[in-house]
Amino acid sequence: MEKSARPFDIVVYGATGFTGRLVAEYLVRHYGQGGPGKDGPRWAMAGRSAAKLAQVRDLIGAPGDTPLIVADAADPASLAAMAGQARVVITTVGPYQLYGGPLLAACIAAGTDYTDLCGEPVWMRQMIDKYGDDAKQSGARICFSSGFD
């Protein structure tokens, strides 16, 4: 699916964790819930548990219709489905050397941009070596260490 036709500009993966919740809260405070006829990006929250995502949505004051996507690092099909709905996936699910590879592969296969806050240089080098050419071919942009402390 062409990136511009995807339902979401941004998916925040790991939205139930501390940092993911902060990212989702920032989007709520600055953009509300974007959608047709609304200002700001169209975005969704993603994680392993629909119930926990709903709790975080309510905790941060996001509208009740904020989209929630269930995806699990151990389920490549769920990651592929999530990546295919977004122009960019922001992930806060680490450690990346344990949980990042399958999501990165799904994003690259879908031509979806990927960003994280990884501080694991060995893993980043491995992923560049493994997926760099595929990312160039699919048009997926990879941005490691965005906002790293």
Question: What are the residue boundaries of the structural domains of the chain, listed by start?
Answer: 3-143
Query: Class of the 3-143 domain?
Result: alpha beta
State residue 64's pLDDT score.
93
Bond prior to 95 in cis (omega within 30° of 0): yes
Q: pLDDT confidence of 18, banded at 50, 70, 90?
A: very high
pLDDT, residue 128, reads: 97
What is the pLDDT averaged over residues 101-106? 98
pTM to 2 decimal places: 0.94
64-87 pLDDT, tens digit each? 999 999 999 999 999 999 999 999
User: How confident is the model over 19-54, as pLDDT tens digits?
Assistant: 999 999 999 998 877 554 567 899 999 999 999 999
CA angle 23, 27, 31 (to 5 degrees): 170
How many CB atoms sit inside 10 A of residue 51's CB?
9
> Are 71 and 102 within 8 A, CB to CB?
no
